[in-house]
Each structure stands twice: as C-alpha cells, then as structure tokens.
Amino acid sequence: MTRIQMNTPLVEMDGDEMTRILWKMIKEDLIEPFVDLKTEYYDLGLKHRDETDDQVTTDAALAAKKYGVAVKCATITPNKARMEEYSLKKLYKSPNGTIRAILDGTVFRKPILVKGIEPYIRTWKKPIVLARHAHGDVYKDSEMKISGSFPVKAELAVTDAEGNETRQDIFTFGADGILEGMYNTTASIRSFARSCFEYALDQKMDLWFSTKDTISKVYDGEFKDIFADMYETEYKERFAEAGIEYFYTLIDDAVARVVRSEGGMLWALKNYDGDVMSDMMAAAFGSLAMMTSVLVSPEGIYEYEAAHGTVQRHYYKYLEGKETSTNSVATIFAWSGALRKRAELDGLDDLKEFADRLEKAVLSVIESGKMTGDLAAVTTLENVTKLNSEQFILAVREELEKA
C-alpha cells in the first residue's frame, strides 16, 4: 500500500504519563501505516524539560510559529509533589502557559459528539465550542482585607509617566471588608476578538459573545465595544459571505439561550466566565475525555491537543503492569485536527480525507458498542463491550483498514 505523502512537517510535542503511552500507540497503529508522517519532534516530557531547563518548550512554540500547525500531548504542570517525584531542578511553569504566551493565542474547546454518549441537555444536537480569554481579570488581581480604624476609604488611583494622578472613590468602609483590583489590556482583548472571528470563519459557526456590560459599563463595556468595532470594520462582509452571524448578549441571557439552543455556535467568554462554563460544558456533553482543545493565534497558528491531562491515576496502574482502559479519543482527534489543518494549508486532499476517515473510524467503533470504561459507564447504548486502552486503538485500526 502506498502511504499518503506530506510536504511540511507537523510540530509534534510529546508529553507525559498515560497520554505519552497512548501517543506512541496512536502514531504507530493509526497514522504511520497510512501516512508517510513528517514531524519535527519536541519531547516535552517532564524529564526532558528538566534536562533542557525548559528550553525545549520555548523551542517547540517557536517551531509552531515557523510551521503553523502543531499537535501536543498532555503534559505535567509541575507542583511540589512532582518536583520530588522527578527530582526537578526547579518548579517550571505550565508548558501550555509558556506556549500560549509565545503564540498569544486563544484556546477553543470543542466536544466530540457521538451516538450513544448523549449530552445532558436534550436539545443539544451540535457541538458548542467555547473560547476563553485566558488573560488578566481576576486571575491577575490584587486583593486586600480591610480592617483597622474605621472609616477606611478605598480609592482607585492611577499615576501616569508624568506623575499625573487620577483618583476615583470605591467605597468607604465602616467595618471589616474585602477589596479587589483587576485589569486587562486593549491589545489582549483585540487579539482575543480577532482569534474568535477567525476561528468562527474557519469553522463556519455563528459567534456569540457575552459580558455583563449593563453593570460593568467601562470594563465589560470595553470588551463589548472592541468586538463590535472589529466586527463592523473587518468581519461583517466576510461573515455574510460565509453565511454566519455575530451575536452579542448579556452573560446571563446567553446562558439561558445556550441551554435552550440546539448548539452549533462558538461562544466567546471572558476569563472567569470561560473557566466556569468550560467545566460545565465538558460535563454536560458527557465526558472530559471527549473534549478537544485548539490554541489559535491571531496570525492563524494552530496547536491541537486533548483538553484532559496526563491521566496520572491510570499511568500508575499501567506501571504496576495492570490493565488500563484510558480513552484516547481526544488525543486521536488532536492528531486528525492537526493533519487536516496541515492538509488544508498545503492543498493535500488525500491527507484531509484521511483525517476525516480516522475520525469516522473512531466514532463507528464507539457507535458499534466498543468503548473504554469512562464511556461504558455513561452510554445509552446496549450490548457494550468495555475495551482496554490498546484494544480500543486496535479496534479503530481494524475499522480504518476496512475503509
């Protein structure tokens, strides 16, 4: 059999624990037999990050910038326990944070829908994609406890380079209380908006955006205005051509409308709203292991991954030689997403067709009742066979070979 050819390499970022085990199986069993795979390989496994003083993460992000498309395995974000476990030289930052800072991207999370794993909301027929603005707001705030001799007056104070001061009253405390200050930058909000408009066009999905600008007239109002201006001046015609809409509404109204909708929209959210809603969505669509994630930079660089972590608990079982039933679907879809994007950029129809075929094969296997334990526990299908990690991938391989 002749394998499908590629022109430009994918940037491949390997990772940790159970997902690293799945990664190798996916490559060897599902991709390399069919595609003459070209990748530029970066080992983001924690051991190698430590050996390179984390330089490998920066190099991988720069390679993504150079080639335009990357696929990433889940990686450990070190904490104190990991520092001991891996005898690390220091407590490295989250690789995803490092990559996001270099690419200045927005993360889009998209659920994989399959018959037999039904969303808890009956009306949802199509995936709802969430875009979270992962910069600033309460995640970079300053906070204080207020106590002392009352009254205590709290003000917002800003000093510019020439020493000019602007002050605004916040509140005068007559008794104990709390205070918080937060910020965002116009540049970051603009690049968030641009990523959302571009991704909506790429996916041909309506774009919804929501804030609480009736209450937060200046802060949330700025988010609303930036999106509205960019839409009017740069995207209105392109959206009309693509047959999609831009829709702004208040966050509470948006929540109610999303629940009553049939899905199919891209929902852009401020940092905190996105944090809360993305976990709600993952659960409501059935399983965290069926959620993909793609980082899109304003210049159109794409990095694909699964939304879940390295599945540590399963990995320790694997190390003990015990059987695992870890779901590889989101990681397989990270590969198919990256291959499809590479194919689109390089005009490779056969590679694009392979990416579609791979996804279809995964869905067929699940729909036929063969699935990993996490899905077997929630499926509405009858006559289910629970497969282990390797059996599932081999079942997909068999299905691919049939096609």
Q: How far is the CB of 75 from ligand NAP (least distance, A)?
A: 4
Q: How far apart are CA 34 and CA 358, in angstroms?
A: 10
Q: How far is the CB of 341 from ligand NAP (least distance, A)?
A: 19
Question: In 174-217, at which residue ranges do the beta strands (DSSP E only) sit?
Answer: 177-181, 206-211
Which DSSP string do the residues of 269-310 spell out, in sequence order? E-HHHHHHHHHHHHHHTS-GGGEEEEEE-TT--EEEEESS--
286, 154 Cβ separation under 8 angstroms: no
Q: How far is the CB of 191 from ligand NAP (least distance, A)?
A: 21
Sole window of 146-154, 277-285, 327-335, 381-389 interacting with Mg ion (rule: CB under 5 A): 277-285
Task: Decide whether 277 or 296 has the Cβ nearer to Mg ion.
Answer: 277
Give Cβ neighbours of residue 78 (< 8 Å, ≥ 6 apart): 46, 86, 88, 91, 92
Q: How far is the CB of 271 from ligand NAP (least distance, A)?
A: 17
**Residue 275 interacts with, from ligand NAP, Mg ion, none (CB under 5-8 Å by kind):** Mg ion
Q: How far apart are CA 86 and CA 260, in angstroms?
A: 47
Q: 């990993």: which residue's tokens?
A: 372
Rounded to the nearest angstrom, the gap between the alpha carbon of residue 86 and the centroid of all alpha carbons in its chain is 26
Please give the residue ranges that form the binding site for ligand NAP (CB under 6 A). 74-77, 96, 288-289, 305, 308-313, 326-327, 374
Task: Decide whether 4 or 289 has the Cβ nearer to ligand NAP.
Answer: 289
User: Is 279 a residue that touches Mg ion (CB under 5 A)?
Assistant: yes
Judged by CB under 5 A, the residue of 202, 275, 299, 390 near Mg ion is 275
Task: Decide whether 128 or 288 has the Cβ nearer to ligand NAP.
Answer: 288
Residue number, nearest CB to ligand NAP: 309
Structure tokens of 198? 């571009």
User: Is 367 a residue that touches Mg ion (CB under 5 A)?
Assistant: no
Q: How far is the CB of 305 from Mg ion (least distance, A)?
A: 16
